[in-house]
Amino acid sequence: MRRLVIFGAVISIFIFIPTWGIFRAAVYILAILQVAYNCTTTTRKQLYLSILVSLVMVIFASSHYRADWTMLFYLIPYVIFVVATIVAEQINSKSDELRTRSLSAPILVGQTIAIITATLSILLLGFLLYLITPQKTIDQLNHKFGNPTAIGAGLHTLEAGAGNQSYLPIQEPSMKNLLSNWPSPDEMRLAAKREGMPKWQADAINSLADISGNLSKGFTQTKKRFDSLWGAFKKWIEENLRQIIQVMILCLLLCLAIAFIFFTRELKVTTWFRSRFDYLYLGIFKIHCKQAYAISNYYYATERLFELQDIPRHRRMTVKEYFEEASNFNTEIKAELTMIARNYEDYRYGEKSYNKSELETLNSLYKKVYRTLSK
């Protein structure tokens, strides 16, 4: 690290500053310092500082007056690797914590799949946000808000004839303008012939120009087909507008009905009305239909009372277990719940017959439980 710093200081003083000036030389000095700093990068803070320094250098390169769409061959890989690096660091740190707690061996395949999936998701989301949000430039802001600019700045020059020029104001950025500003295949091939263009980039641009030309032909045919289908669809909507509105209203009413059902189920409205009906039917009027079902009716009525208190019975719990848990909610009725559970089990498993006085006792037990829980 020390040797790199000394080497960078020497070439900066004797080569960079005299050749390119202080500003461009400062970026090269920053790059050398970052290379030296990477020799000791071990913490998350140091990693983020390295990414920040690389971002500064990328911004400096993008601000050059000759920077145009060909910079995408460097910017896109940079963005992909930065996102992948941050995601990998986060997933790796989290997996280290989990492995330390569970004392298990590292699973590299799962981490790799997670890193790739998270990286692609973030890049896709960022690309979609880039497409749907307006991309303002300095010239557009200056033109819109009247900031002082050079004569003709912020205006597109159009050749209107021999020796004549006309100017149009800058248009607001949109998806249509973004696609129209993309270079044509001929402009791409012309850019590939620039002096100093690397051979791999020139070959890539020429291949991109061929692909773009083929896609533009196919896109034109697809657009014509889509326009015809869209016109037919609009015509069908105009002819069947009344029926479409009726169907939409019915769908809306159906959605409201379903939402109302789920809303009432969440509020336990049906259970509330059923519990009040149970009290009138069993507690006040003592209508048991058949004496053989009176014990089970009192038990299920008591169970519905606890459902209103958010204490439902699990299907694997016995009657005694359920009422023991329910009695913890209110200890005043523990004895009554124990008696109801005992009578229900005796009736269900013992085939015991009950007389009128025993049903009266069970009725009073149920009414006490109802009044206690309804306070």
Query: What are the pLDDT digits (tens) for 35-69?
Result: 777 777 778 888 888 888 888 888 888 877 777 78
- Of residues 286 and 138, more confidence is placed in 286
Q: Helix (H) and strand (E) counts for the chain?
A: 15, 2
Determine which of 5-19, 186-200, 262-276 has the lowest per-residue pLDDT on average.
Answer: 5-19
As a whole number, the mean pLDDT across the chain is: 78
* Over residues 152-159, mean pLDDT: 43
How far apart, in whole angstroms, are the C-alpha atoms of residue 375 and residue 371? Answer: 6
**Residue 256 pLDDT:** 93
State the Cα angle at 176 between 170 and 178, rounded to 5°: 70
**Sheet strands (E) in the chain:** 155-161, 164-169
How would residue 272 be classed by pLDDT, with cut points 50, 70 and 90?
confident
- Of residues 160 and 138, more confidence is placed in 138
Q: What is the token pair recorded at 354?
A: 């009950």
333 in Cβ contact with 351 (< 8 Å): no
3-state helix, strand, coil in the chain (%, to 5): 75, 5, 20
Query: What is the Cβ-side half-sphere exposure of residue 302, based on CA atoms within 13 angstroms?
Result: 30
Residue 68 neighbours by CB under 8 Å, 6+ apart:
191
Say if residue 160's pLDDT is above 70. no
Q: Locate all alpha helices (DSSP H) within 163-198, ordered by sequence.
A: 175-180, 185-192
Say if residue 156's pLDDT is above 50. no
pTM above 0.75, yes or no: no
344 in Cβ contact with 323 (< 8 Å): no
- Of residues 344 and 147, more confidence is placed in 344
* Over residues 256-275, mean pLDDT: 83
How would residue 92 be classed by pLDDT, with cut points 50, 70 and 90?
confident
